[in-house]
């Protein structure tokens, strides 16, 4: 008698494996999307918290200073007698290195006098050898010969003249990043920040006088200087320097005609690009190229606006 022994072999078919892989992929996708969104919301929350803390810190410091002001200098100024940017045009308005050379940044700067150690009251706005405190905005790394083209909201290089060389700045004249290429900008962001400077006007070079014909104050020297760091006795940033940009900066003096200002409205916005934000593309030289100088990207924004009463101004 012979016995027949049968053996059964168990395993997965190709179809079953493909179905299992598909189900795993669907489950992973369903879990990955909410996890990514949760991490993204957490990053946004941290950025928002840091911006709010930085904005509150800046407002607190500015308010503390301006509350003690004995005199606030007028803002409506134009360049009196010299061409400070070398373009052959005089009588220009204040520029604060904000990337826009065609706007008037008079309200983006405020100059005032604080009490000295003795607490002497100052009656004249041009008292000699009186230390002036200035709050103003500028890009964090000003380029001396290309100051108005230095603003860069995101990292990266652009092609301003459409010749295919990214990051080239035709009026820079220097190798900024040490790569051997002249007239090429660094690819790091160069946003704007709010600064506090303390300096003493020089009566021989720094003047401020009213011109009824144009209803403006004609200014020379450091009253129009877009960068006070080289001449200031003390100079420090009030808002973060890296990754944060200040925009819509305004110091609005409120007064009645013929009277000193009674209050100052301080307003500004701090912003950071959202995680993963890419530079906007623009058409140059028949090609689409990235434009890291444009702030027209998705950003997280915090705005502050306060009114400070000038109790000591007479």
Domain annotation covers residue 6 = no
Q: Rounded mean pLDDT of 34-60?
A: 87
Domain annotation covers residue 274 = yes
| Cα-Cα end-to-end distance for the chain | 126
Q: Provide the pLDDT confidence category of residue 250 given band limits of 50, 70 and 90.
A: very high
Residue 171: the pLDDT is 42
Residue 7: the pLDDT is 53
How many domains is the chain built from?
1
Q: Provide the pLDDT confidence category of residue 50 given band limits of 50, 70 and 90.
A: very high
Domain annotation covers residue 214 = yes
Domain annotation covers residue 250 = yes
Domain annotation covers residue 263 = yes
Q: Rounded mean pLDDT of 240-256?
A: 91
- Domain, as residue range, for 275: 14-309
Q: Tens of pLDDT along 207-226? A: 888 878 777 788 888 898 88
For residues 221 and 36, give the distance between their C-alpha atoms in angstroms, rounded to a whole number: 53
Q: Tens of pLDDT along 88-113? A: 666 678 878 776 666 778 899 999 99
Residue 72: the pLDDT is 92
Q: Tens of pLDDT along 291-302? A: 777 777 888 999
Beta-carbon contacts of residue 179 (< 8 Å; ≥ 6 apart): none
113 close to 69: Cβ distance less than 8 angstroms: yes
Domain annotation covers residue 282 = yes
Name the phi and psi angles at 221, rounded to 5: 65, -140
Domain annotation covers residue 9 = no
Name the phi and psi angles at 62, rounded to 5: -65, -45
Domain annotation covers residue 143 = yes
């Amino acid at each position: 008698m012979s016995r027949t022994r049968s053996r059964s072999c168990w395993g997965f078919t190709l179809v079953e494996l493909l179905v299992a892989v598909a189900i795993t992929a669907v489950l992973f996708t369903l879990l990955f999307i909410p996890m990514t969104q949760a991490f993204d919301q957490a990053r946004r929350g941290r950025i928002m918290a840091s911006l709010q803390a930085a904005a509150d810190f800046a407002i607190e410091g500015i308010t503390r200073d301006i509350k003690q002001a004995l005199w606030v200098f007028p803002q409506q100024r134009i360049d009196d007698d010299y061409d400070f940017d070398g373009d052959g045009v005089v009588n220009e308005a204040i520029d604060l290195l904000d990337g826009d050379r065609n706007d008037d940044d008079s309200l983006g700067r405020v100059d005032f006098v604080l009490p000295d150690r003795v607490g002497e009251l100052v009656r004249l706005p041009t008292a000699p050898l009186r230390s002036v405190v200035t709050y103003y905005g500028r890009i964090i790394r000003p380029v001396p010969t290309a100051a108005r083209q230095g603003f860069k909201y995101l990292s990266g290089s652009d092609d301003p003249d459409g010749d295919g060389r990214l990051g080239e700045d035709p009026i820079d004249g220097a190798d900024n990043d040490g790569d051997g290429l002249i007239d090429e900008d660094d690819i790091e962001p160069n946003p704007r920040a709010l600064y506090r400077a303390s300096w003493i006007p020089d009566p021989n070079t720094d003047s401020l006088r009213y011109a009824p014909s144009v209803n403006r104050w004609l200014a020379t020297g450091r009253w129009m200087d877009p960068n006070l760091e080289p001449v200031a006795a003390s100079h420090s940033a009030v808002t973060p320097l890296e990754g944060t940009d200040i925009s819509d900066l305004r110091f609005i003096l409120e007064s009645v005609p013929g009277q000193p200002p009674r209050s100052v409205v301080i307003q500004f916005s701090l912003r950071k690009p959202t995680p993963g934000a890419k530079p906007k593309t623009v058409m140059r030289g028949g090609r689409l190229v990235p434009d890291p100088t444009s702030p027209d990207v998705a950003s997280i924004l915090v705005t502050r606006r306060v009114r400070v009463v000038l109790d000591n101004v007479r």
